[in-house]
Amino acid sequence: MVLISCAGRGAGGAVSSNGSALSIDRSSEPLRGRSMSLSSLLAAASILALSAAAAQAADAGASRSADAAAVKALMAKIESMEQRINTLQVELKDAKAKKPAGIGQSASLASRTPSSTVALTGAKDARGGAVKASDNASTAFKPVSNAMALADPKDVNAANSKTADAPQSSSPASRLAAAFADSDPKPRFLPAADLKAPPPASAKDLFGAAPTPVPGMRIGMYGEIKMGSVQNPAANGQWQNGFDMARLVLLPTYQVNDYITFNAELEWEHGGIAIDADDKLHGAIEVEQAFFDVKFNDHFTLRSPGIDLIPISFTNLYHEPTLFYSVQRPQLANGLVPTTWYAPAVGFYGKIVDGLNYQFQASQSAEDFGDDFDHRGDNGRINPGGYGAGINGAEALKLARAPIGDFRQLSNELAYTLRLSYTPSFLPGFAGSSAIYYSPNVTPRGAYATQPDGTETPLGKNAMTIFNTEARYRVPNTGLELRGEYAYVHFSNPENLRANNDLDETNNVGKSMWGYSAEVAYHFRAPNDYDIVPFYRYTRQNFQTSGMLGSDLTAGLNNVTGSGDMTFHDVGLAIFPNPSLVYKLNYTKVIDHSATGAMSDRILAGVGWLW
């Protein structure tokens, strides 16, 4: 750019400055061999100085403009970082203030999902016994509680946003936490379709009270004790007092490495068993769970063959006493879904998207056989002479679970279960699940019908399908909690059920069975920080619908007795001194449509714990 042009006096030449370079044009003046005049030199120097100053000023202006923009961008970044730091400080403060209770769940942590492990690829060996299990087997053994009861709605929302459902986790904390939201950041046993982020390692891996002597090993426990007065229908409804050491359960978990976890559940029921008459024990000792989980990523975890819970019904997966409010388990879990329902099984589970998880399982089929082992022949068939039905109109599917040991199953059939669990982000505080179970044949080998003349004729195939859906909702910013559940069982050929072919019309079964329940509870926080939960639950179920067929029909023994058509009213109070301990008191009114009535009311008190 030409900044200036001038003529030197007597020189006739043009002097120009372009940038910082000076040019003197003498094309119009012949060379005379004499020096330029002093004035011309001074003019040229002045022009040069002015040109340089102008160029520097222009450059400085552009530089100042660029610097100002950079400083402005830097300040914006600093402000953004300050805001993030403030947010993190608030979150840290809130986290420290939170109780160890699990997220909005209220009554039972999820079934068990082995401790979640990290991805299979790039996994590092666990060090110092620290378990990195994620939800499934997240082994955090922090005391949990009826998560729903003690969880703040904000905790529920936070949990739901982190949910990556995985099957049950083994730790008590996990179970409790998963109870309501079907997911919890610190559970140990989450339902298989309810995965999560790995829980923080805990130094108290033995019952939540002491460190473990074996790195990677953790042991939890839950149990319940019941007492009260019940009507005995076998004694014409007489009220009788009683006591039950209902169960004591150990929950061992072992983190083999970063991606393989072992989970088990060992249970003593009703005081255990003994041979001597003076011991007066008539209970059971059972292995209810034993399996390995191999985690590849959040979307796929393989559950190796073992003993596992059938993933249908929330209560079957989450049945710890701190996870429901009545002394007895909810009625739908005592027949239509025979909790605790476990079987030899294999499967896999994972996350579909945030807030939606799945679990698939293949298991030993249920059996329509409800008698003892004396009626199971060494030839793998039912002995002749009559036997009890596994599926009947009095107890539904309660006796239909197949044995898990000594190759004593009476069927070659596999059953298949698919479960979806969901915690939608658009509805904070809500969680639910839906599952379907299908067996192509529940008729055991050697099953037969007993005719009025005493002859025994073979029974054919009978497929069974179960559909279950349930929902839990803790209304944000309130103590209100709502729950609901529906179960439906369908038989393809009810004429092949033993109950319809045993010459006993009191237990006949129709084409289907169904039941539903609705529950409302409210959480009050006492001054001593106890959680006090009054509740009411309504249940309606029918095990004897129309469509009864079989030899009982031809013998005129197909009358609906009404004993399987029942209504239950449960009202009571649950008090949680902390999330891992609950005291309960409730009254149950039972109504059926039999001629004499149910005569099965009860007033019960109990204590339950989960460590």
Rounded CA gap, 118 and 295, in Å? 7
Structure tokens at 188: 């140990």
pLDDT reading at 164 higher than 50: no
- Do the Cβ atoms of 387 and 498 come closer than 8 Å? yes
Q: pLDDT grade, residue 552 (50/70/90)?
A: confident
Which residue, among 349, 373, 364, has the nearest Cα to 421 in the 3D structure?
Answer: 349
β-strand pairing of 480-491 with 524-525: unpaired
How far, rounded to the nearest angstrom, does the alpha carbon of residue 331 sit from its chain's CA centroid? Answer: 21
CA 171 to CA 190: how far, in whole Å?
8
- pLDDT tens per residue, range 125-151: 333 333 333 333 333 333 333 444 344
Task: For the beta carbon of residue 204, count every other beta carbon within 10 angstroms.
Answer: 16
| Tally of CB atoms within 10 A around 394 | 19
The bridge status of strand 430-439 relative to strand 464-474 is antiparallel
Q: Tell me the average pLDDT across 273-300.
A: 86
Cα–Cα distance, 98 to 150 (Å, whole number): 10
d(CA 570, CA 590) in angstroms, rounded, equals 9
Cα end-to-end distance, the chain, whole Å: 85
Given this model, what pLDDT does residue 84 score?
Answer: 76
SS (H, E, C) 354-377: CCEEEEEEEEECCCCCCCCHHHEC
* pLDDT (0 to 100) of residue 92: 72
Q: Which residue ranges make up each domain of the chain?
A: 2-78, 310-338+357-610
What's the pLDDT score for residue 550? Answer: 80
Taking the C-alpha atoms of residue 499 and residue 164, their distance in angstroms, rounded to an integer, is: 43
Please give the DSSP secondary-structure letter assigned to residue 289. Answer: E
Q: Is 507 helix (H, G, I), strand (E, B) or coil?
A: helix
Mean pLDDT of 194-222: 69
DSSP alpha helix (H) spans, 312-355: 314-317
Q: Classify burial at 54, counting beta carbons within 10 Å of its beta carbon; exposed 0-12, middle 13-18, buried 19 or more.
A: middle
Closest-CA residue to 232 (of 605, 596, 538): 596
As a whole number, mean pLDDT of residues 220-241 equals: 95
Which range has the worst mean pLDDT, 163-172, 436-445, 471-480? 163-172
Using one digit for the tens of pLDDT, what is the confidence trace for 568-596? 999 999 999 999 999 999 999 999 888 88
* Helices vs. strands in the chain: H and E counts, helices first: 6, 22
d(C-alpha 394, C-alpha 417), whole Å: 25
Higher pLDDT, 116 or 611: 611
pLDDT mean over 394-417: 92
| Best CA proximity match to 133, nearest among 55, 41, 198 | 198
Question: Which backbone phi and psi does 605 adopt, to 5 degrees?
Answer: -125, 155
Three-class secondary structure of residue 304 per DSSP = strand
38 pLDDT tier (thresholds 50, 70, 90): very low
DSSP state string for 181-216? HS--SS-SS--TT---PPPPP-S--BTTTB--SSTT
Question: For residues 217 and 252, what is the distance between their CA atoms, to the nearest angstrom?
Answer: 7
Least confident segment among 270-274, 299-303, 464-468 = 270-274
CA 31 to chain centre: 101
Q: Quick one: pLDDT band at residue 189, thresholds 50, 70, 90?
A: very low
| HSE of 427, CA atoms in CB hemisphere, 13 A | 13
Q: Could you give the C-alpha distances from 208 to 10, 222, 225, 443, 478, in angstroms and in order?
A: 106, 11, 20, 45, 30
Compute the distance between CA of residue 292 and CA of residue 255 in angstroms, rounded to an integer. Answer: 10
How far is the C-alpha of 214 from the C-alpha of 370, rounded, in Å? Answer: 42
165 pLDDT more than 70: no
Taking the C-alpha atoms of residue 170 and residue 109, their distance in angstroms, rounded to an integer, is: 10
* Axis-axis angle for helices 153-162, 172-181 (nearest 10): 100
Q: Does CATH place domain 310-338+357-610 in 1.10.3210?
A: no
CB 151 within 8 A of CB 103: yes
**Which of 412, 419, 456 shows the shortest CA–CA distance to 435?**
419
- Residue 1 vs residue 207, higher pLDDT: 207
Count of residues for the chain?
611
